[in-house]
Amino acid sequence: MAVLQGLCKNCGSLVMYNSADEMCDCIFCNAVFPIGEVIPVDAELKDIVFPMEKFERKTNTGAKNQYSTMPDRVTPVVERNAKSEALDEGVETKQFEIQAKDVKAPKKVVAIITGAAAVCLLVTVVVSFPLYKKRTEVHSKMEDKMHSIVENIVKIDETKDADGNTPGYSIQGISCQKVSMLTGDEVDEATAELLFNNYCAALKSAGSSADKDDVELKLYSKNGIYTVKSGKAKFSENKVATETSKKK
Ligand SMILES: [Zn+2]
């Protein structure tokens, strides 16, 4: 009679049994099975699937409780298999996680990233510059045309100050579609509409993409403010001017 070692066929724990015994009883999972089914300790564990069935503790099974507290060979194998399965499924485990602080970018990489950012900026400038240039071109053409737009209609200050500002008028919008004019003259709706039409014609010849319906003229005059849209002038009383003129 010899004391033998093997692995429980249900849970993989180490079991010890007598060669004279018929049955082996696993103290860990309570499985009872013939000693012929005990798995040899040197078996290739990765090929073995342990059922891990749950058994109630049985008494009088005819088997002796034989077990050992020797190092567990199974748990590490099960864990290793679980990990490699997780990797196969593309699931990251903490063990393989790389944190930002672990990565030191080589100078070459930094240079490439910096270069790429510079290229992006350059592309943005190259794409947007023609638009900007066109806009400023139309804008400066409209400034040049301002004299002919208002000539013989109203008197506005057409001068540019040292900072490039034009106190008598203001041209705004991406296609110069908004314009305000300031005059000390007294004007009527027809005058405002005439200025509007002149401005639209000048815009067209300056190469602006603005449609007549996009254009809006605000005319600040002695007797009030005119807003011209789609060629129609609307008068809104300038209260400040009215009160001032009443006092006079
Ligand atoms: Zn067992």
Ligand 1 center to residue 9 CA distance, Å? 7
Please state, rounded to an integer, the average pLDDT across all residues of the chain. 81
pLDDT of 125 reads 77
Please give the pLDDT value at position 74: 64
* Predicted pLDDT at 226: 93
Cα 28 to ligand 1 centroid, rounded to whole Å = 5
Distance 68 CA to ligand 1 centre (A): 12
Which tens digits make up the pLDDT trace of 126-185?
Answer: 777 777 788 788 999 999 999 999 999 999 998 888 888 888 999 998 889 999 999 999
Residue 179 bridge partners (DSSP): 171, 217
User: How far apart are the CA of 132 and the centre of ligand 1, in A?
Assistant: 80
- 3-state SS, the chain, equals CCEEEEECCCCCCEEEEECCCCEEECCCCCCEEEHHHCECCCCCHHHCCCCCCCCCCCCCCCCCECECCCCCCHHHHHHHHHHHHHHHCCCCCHHHCCCHHHCCCCHHHHHHHHHHHHHHHHHHHHHHHHHHHHHHHHHHHHHHHHHHHHCCCCCECCCCCCCCCCCCEEEECCCCCEEEEEECCCCCHHHHHHHHHHHHHHHHHCCCCCCHHHCEEEEECCCCEEEEECCEEEEECCHHHHHHHHHC
Per-residue pLDDT for 197 more than 90?
Answer: yes
The pLDDT, as a whole number, for residue 151 is 92
Largest CA distance in the chain: 133
**Ligand 1 geometric centre to CA of 114 (Å):** 61
Identity of the highest mean pLDDT range in 105-114, 124-133, 200-209: 200-209
pLDDT at 245: 47
At residue 246 the predicted structure's pLDDT band, cuts being 50, 70 and 90, is very low
| 93 Cα: distance to centroid of ligand 1 (angstroms) | 29
Chain length of the chain? 248
Q: Is the pTM of this model over 0.75?
A: no
Q: Name the residues around ion ligand 1, CB cutoff 5 A.
A: 8, 10-11, 13, 26, 28-29, 31
Question: Given this model, what pLDDT does residue 58 score?
Answer: 65
Q: pLDDT tens-digit profile of 37-50?
A: 999 988 888 888 89
Mean pLDDT calculated for residue range 205-226:
91
Q: How many CB atoms lie within 10 A of CB 26?
A: 25
More confident of the two residues 133 and 13:
13
Give the chain's end-to-end CA distance (angstroms, integer): 133
